[in-house]
């Protein structure tokens, strides 16, 4: 190579004064001096040899026509429509990111180019015999000068051809179809709470109702005089019948209240526990119901590559003879190795000929496609029913491939670096990725993570503990009230406390009714006390009226005339006289006279 390019020899004197023939060799007559050759010292290159050679190659590249091989695919290289085509030259028959990138590089370096599609439609893969296919094969065989496409830089390809610096960074992602939004259910109001919470709530409601019923019947302070005006009643009444108790608990549950309220300390403790239980549960239900009504819920069967590898219901694959296939085939990571074993053994085959066919298969449903994240970003901007699952599986880049030891690699890398510094690479990506997108968001993973979730038993289990603790405390207080009641009865008028306790439990369990005969209790002075026998807890509504101070009331009735004149009643006392007029239907009207 040097002998064919050596110019005429030149004679120079060395430092020792002897004449030695030296040859100054150039790459061409237009290129600068790169070194000297002598028979004794052989080749002596100049210190700026690399820079000089690069400048020489750059000058040689100007006005030269390069053959660019690429592969079809959105948005990198697409055929123009009929109305967009021209007959000037072949390169204008295509459009896309790669076409614009080659055009920008050609503007910087000043060369011409022609674009052709790869013959076998493959990126490049080495088979068992060490033979390459696709664009890598055409570069090795000299059918193309450069290969510009969404061609991933890999170790295996780098050993066969040369790559420029990456013009785009990316990683492997998972493309999947969104699940359709579920229509509202008839009982969607039950969604804020899990099913087990609803079961426990109904059980607690019935349990508290029965518990309050028995505690109220067992407590002596819930048996009151049904007629407060009667000083010595014959029987006492308990307002907490089964129907009233059920109405009380359901009124509290619906936060509507009830006209029956507990009187004794034990029933009040139990009621307070039930109220606290309802307060927390209803507040949690209301807050979570608002989230369910405002947040769109999306159910996704897979959230990451780990989820994808642990199931076999949804098949997944990638493009055939691509870098993604090589990544899984050569990976030693357990998850990716398991995924490759599944893809290789699954039938029918999960591998596709191109990204377009892979996307079409994803649209049909029940298929996940593994592809570069840049292509996924482009697709999800235009196909709103698709989205990217999880994070990227790796990190790599796209580069322009050249034949081995090509002098144009460093020159094209410098041009790519200049385009990156000028912001043109970013402008090209925005033009072809986001410029014509119709979807609002390319990724819905954040929406899935931010959706509302039902409250399980672990979230609201504490209120059940509070309710159970309040019920237990109410039992002990109720027993204490009964013992206190028995202590106030003389020993000769009652049995042993345990016997009385068992008798009372039997009376409560057998449900003999809401009334019971009053028990006459003698105090220490032998005076019979009416009611419940507690001087410090008088009967509700009872007033000891002094008959000497009571005013006499007269009621005078006049007969009704035949012409239906109103009846007249006269009520007299010391201060005034009221005349009540009543019509035929006894609707009274009072006036002071």
- Single out the residue in 175, 209, 236 at which a domain terminates: 175
Least confident span in 264-273, 300-309, 368-377, 559-568: 559-568
**pLDDT tens string 88-111:** 544 468 888 999 999 999 999 888
Residue 85: other Cβ atoms inside 10 A: 13
| 210: three-class secondary structure by DSSP | helix
Check whether residue 198 and residue 109 sit in a common domain: no
Is 538 inside a domain boundary? no
Is 474 inside a domain boundary? yes
Structure tokens belonging to residue 513:
């009714």
Count of domains observed in the chain: 4
**Rounded to an integer, what distance in angstroms lies between the CA atom of residue 345 and that of residue 190?**
44
The helix (run of H) or strand (run of E) holding residue 372 is strand 368-372
Predicted confidence at residue 456, as pLDDT, reads 61
Mean pLDDT of the chain: 75
Predicted confidence at residue 16, as pLDDT, reads 39
Check whether residue 436 and residue 357 sit in a common domain: yes
**pLDDT tens string 423-436:** 999 899 888 887 66
Query: What residues pair up with 124 in beta bridges, in sequence order?
Result: none
| 279: three-class secondary structure by DSSP | helix
Check whether residue 365 and residue 430 sit in a common domain: yes
Task: Tell me: pLDDT of 591 over 70.
Answer: no
Predicted confidence at residue 340, as pLDDT, reads 93
State the CATH number of the domain containing residue 64.
Answer: 3.40.190.10
Predicted confidence at residue 15, as pLDDT, reads 38
Is 408 inside a domain boundary? no
Is 257 inside a domain boundary? yes
Question: Average pLDDT, stretch 380-390?
Answer: 87
Check whether residue 162 and residue 196 sit in a common domain: no
Check whether residue 467 and residue 443 sit in a common domain: no
Residue 163's pLDDT band, with cuts at 50, 70 and 90, is very high
Are 315 and 176 in contact by the 8 Å Cβ rule? The answer is no
Task: Tell me: pLDDT of 297 over 90.
Answer: no
- The b-or-e profile of 551-589 (16+ CB within 10 A means b, else e) is eeeeeeeeeeeeeeebbebeeeeeeeeeeeeeeeeeeee
Structure tokens belonging to residue 305:
């590559």
Q: For residue 578, what are the domain limits?
A: 554-592
Task: Tell me: pLDDT of 549 over 80.
Answer: no
| Per-residue CA distances from 315 to 191, 344, 345 (Å) | 31, 11, 11
- Single out the residue in 151, 175, 199 at which a domain terminates: 175
Check whether residue 60 and residue 165 sit in a common domain: yes
Check whether residue 140 and residue 254 sit in a common domain: no
Are 36 and 22 in contact by the 8 Å Cβ rule? The answer is yes
Top mean pLDDT of 150-164, 443-457, 460-474 is at 150-164
Task: Tell me: pLDDT of 8 over 70.
Answer: no
Residue 44's pLDDT band, with cuts at 50, 70 and 90, is low
552 annotated among ligand-binding-site residues: no
16 annotated among ligand-binding-site residues: no
The model carries a pTM of 0.50
157 annotated among ligand-binding-site residues: yes
| Per-residue CA distances from 521 to 18, 489, 495, 583 (Å) | 147, 6, 14, 50
Look at residues 351, 286, 274, 295 and name the one whose alpha carbon lies nearest to residue 319: 351
Check whether residue 429 and residue 315 sit in a common domain: yes
Look at residues 401, 405, 429, 372 and name the one whose alpha carbon lies nearest to residue 153: 401
**Rounded to an integer, what distance in angstroms lies between the CA atom of residue 319 and that of residue 52?**
43
Predicted confidence at residue 454, as pLDDT, reads 60
Is 403 inside a domain boundary? no
Check whether residue 285 and residue 198 sit in a common domain: yes
Predicted confidence at residue 516, as pLDDT, reads 67
Check whether residue 363 and residue 307 sit in a common domain: yes
Q: Give percent of the chain above pLDDT 70.
A: 68
**pLDDT tens string 504-513:** 888 778 776 6
Is 539 inside a domain boundary? no
Check whether residue 290 and residue 255 sit in a common domain: yes
Q: What are phi and psi of 256, to 5 degrees?
A: -110, -10
**Rounded to an integer, what distance in angstroms lies between the CA atom of residue 126 and that of residue 193?**
57
Pairing mode, if any, of strands 368-372 and 235-238? unpaired
Least confident span in 200-204, 302-306, 310-314, 452-456: 452-456
Is 40 inside a domain boundary? yes
- Single out the residue in 175, 209, 228 at which a domain terminates: 175
Check whether residue 480 and residue 503 sit in a common domain: yes
Is 106 inside a domain boundary? yes
Predicted confidence at residue 542, as pLDDT, reads 36
**Rounded to an integer, what distance in angstroms lies between the CA atom of residue 591 and that of residue 283?**
51
Residue 577's pLDDT band, with cuts at 50, 70 and 90, is very low
Rg (CA), the chain: 48
154 annotated among ligand-binding-site residues: no
152 annotated among ligand-binding-site residues: yes
Pairing mode, if any, of strands 316-317 and 368-372? parallel
Predicted confidence at residue 19, as pLDDT, reads 40
């Amino acid at each position: 190579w040097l002998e064919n390019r050596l110019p005429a020899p030149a004679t120079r004197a060395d430092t020792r004064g002897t004449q030695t023939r030296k040859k100054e060799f150039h790459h061409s007559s237009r290129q600068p001096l790169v070194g000297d050759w002598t028979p004794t010292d052989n080749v002596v290159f100049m210190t700026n040899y690399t820079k000089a050679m690069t400048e020489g190659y750059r000058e040689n590249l100007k006005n030269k026509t390069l053959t660019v091989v690429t592969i079809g695919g959105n948005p990198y290289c697409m055929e123009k429509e009929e109305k967009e085509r021209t007959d000037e030259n072949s390169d204008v028959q295509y459009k896309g990111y790669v076409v614009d990138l080659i055009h920008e590089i050609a503007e910087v370096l000043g060369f011409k180019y022609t674009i052709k599609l790869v013959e076998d439609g493959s990126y490049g893969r080495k088979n068992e015999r060490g033979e390459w296919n696709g664009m890598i094969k055409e570069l090795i065989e000299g059918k193309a000068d450069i290969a510009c496409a969404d061609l991933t830089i890999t170790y295996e390809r780098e050993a066969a051809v040369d790559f420029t610096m990456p013009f785009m960074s990316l990683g492997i992602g998972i493309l999947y179809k969104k699940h359709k939004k579920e229509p509202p259910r008839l009982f969607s109001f039950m969604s804020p709470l899990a099913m087990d919470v609803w079961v426990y709530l109904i059980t607690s409601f019935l349990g508290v109702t029965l518990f309050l019923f028995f505690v109220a019947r067992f407590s002596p302070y819930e048996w009151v005089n049904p007629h407060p005006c009667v000083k010595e009643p014959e029987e006492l009444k308990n307002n907490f019948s089964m129907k009233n108790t059920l109405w009380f608990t359901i009124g509290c549950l619906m936060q509507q209240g009830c006209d029956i309220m507990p009187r004794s300390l034990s029933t009040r403790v139990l009621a307070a526990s039930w109220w606290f239980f309802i307060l927390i549960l209803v507040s949690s239900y209301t807050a979570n119901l608002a989230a369910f009504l405002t947040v769109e819920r999306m159910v996704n069967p897979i959230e990451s590559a780990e989820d994808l590898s642990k199931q076999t219901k949804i098949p997944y694959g990638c493009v055939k003879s691509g870098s993604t296939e090589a990544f899984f085939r050569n990976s030693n990571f357990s998850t990716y190795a398991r995924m490759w074993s599944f893809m290789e053994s699954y039938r029918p085959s999960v591998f596709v000929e191109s990204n377009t066919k892979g996307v079409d298969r994803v649209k049909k449903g029940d298929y996940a496609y593994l592809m570069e994240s840049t292509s996924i970003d482009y697709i999800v901007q235009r196909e709103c029913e698709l989205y990217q699952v999880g994070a990227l599986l790796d990190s790599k880049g796209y580069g322009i491939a050249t034949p081995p030891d090509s002098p144009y690699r460093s020159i094209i890398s410098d041009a790519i670096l200049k385009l990156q510094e000028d912001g043109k690479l970013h402008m090209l990506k925005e033009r072809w990725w986001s410029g014509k997108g119709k979807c609002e968001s390319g990724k819905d993973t954040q929406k899935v993570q931010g959706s509302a979730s039902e409250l399980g038993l672990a979230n609201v289990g504490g209120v059940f503990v509070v309710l159970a603790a309040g019920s237990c405390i109410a039992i002990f207080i109720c027993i204490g009230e009964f013992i206190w009641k028995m202590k106030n009865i003389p020993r000769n008028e009652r049995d042993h406390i345990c016997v009385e306790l068992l008798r009372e439990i039997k009376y409560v369990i057998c449900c003999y009714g809401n009334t019971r005969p009053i028990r006459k209790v003698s105090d220490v002075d032998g005076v019979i006390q009416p009611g419940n026998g507690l001087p410090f807890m008088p009967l509700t509504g009872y007033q000891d009226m002094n008959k000497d101070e009571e005013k006499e009331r007269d009621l005078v009735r006049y007969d009704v005339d035949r012409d239906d004149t109103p009846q007249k009643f006269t009520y007299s006392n010391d201060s005034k006289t009221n005349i009540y007029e009543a019509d035929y239907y006894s609707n009274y009207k009072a006036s002071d006279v």
